[in-house]
Amino acid sequence: MAARHHPTGQRDRVTALLTMVPMSPSAKATNRATGALALPGLAVSIITVSDRASHGTRENATGPLLVAAFADLGAVTTHAVVADEVPAITQALADAIAAGARAVITTGGTGIGPRDVTPEATAPLLAQNLPGVPELLRQRDVAANPFVALSRALAGLTAAPQRTLIVNLPGSVSAVTSALEVLPAIVAHACAQIDGGDH
């Protein structure tokens, strides 16, 4: 089982953001019944992209962090670890979509290194680009780390009928921790919109 750990106050910030997110009637009913603000039953797949993590020579820190954060909010999570290879990444994305994931979050491989190919593996699957998502995440961190400008992360939706949300994140713990302050609310709102909810 993935270890669960969160920076102080992170879960409270995520919960506060979720109070502003329109949810489906079933989600609202679950929240009224439990008193918890969550992503009840939402299928979220996490994919770690890392040569070293896939070979067991480096700790996979960001994948379990994402799994724990979304699971704590009630999502049904899966987690795969693949090497920095376009076919392997594309296959992992396709497998997650085929398994019914509403959102797929990748971590790693978004930079400009010779092995950074996650955007290339993601792009062919996107029917609608959502450039505002990676732009927002970069803007949040640019004051502390101007090198986030070199990130090539993508976000978007796959084609109908399923229209799965895919978001690329960097492979650093700091970037993922920052993204988790806003990403669950974005996922919830995007899924509500896909399901025909109000803006």
pLDDT value at position 137?
97
CA distance 106 to 89: 9
pLDDT in tens, 7-54: 444 445 444 444 444 444 434 423 433 334 479 999 999 999 999 999
Q: Which CATH number fits domain 40-194: 3.40.50.300, 1.10.20.10, 3.40.980.10, 3.40.1080.10?
A: 3.40.980.10
pLDDT score of 61 more than 80: yes
Collapse the DSSP code of 125 into the 3-class scheme (helix H, G, I; strand E, B; otherwise coil) and give the result: helix
Helix (H) or strand (E) holding 52: helix 51-55
Task: Provide the residue ranges of all domains of the chain, joining segments of one domain with +.
Answer: 40-194
Q: Are 86 and 117 in contact (CB under 8 A)?
A: yes
127 Cβ contact list (under 8 Å, min separation 6): 156, 157, 158, 159, 160, 163
Kindly report the backbone phi and psi dihedral angles of residue 73, in degrees, each rounded to the nearest multiple of 5, phi listed first: -95, 5
**Other beta carbons less than 10 A from residue 34's beta carbon:** 11
- The predicted structure's pLDDT at residue 31: 43
Predicted confidence at residue 18, as pLDDT, reads 44
pLDDT, the chain, mean: 86
Residue in the block written with tokens 């969550």:
38
- In 60-172, where does DSSP find H-type helix? 62-72, 86-98, 118-122, 132-141
The contacts of residue 164 (CB under 8 Å, 6+ apart) are 96, 97, 101, 102, 103, 104, 157, 158
Phi-psi label, residue 32: left if phi above 0, alpha if psi -120 to 50, beta otherwise: alpha
Range 174-178 average pLDDT: 97
Write down the pTM of the prediction.
0.82
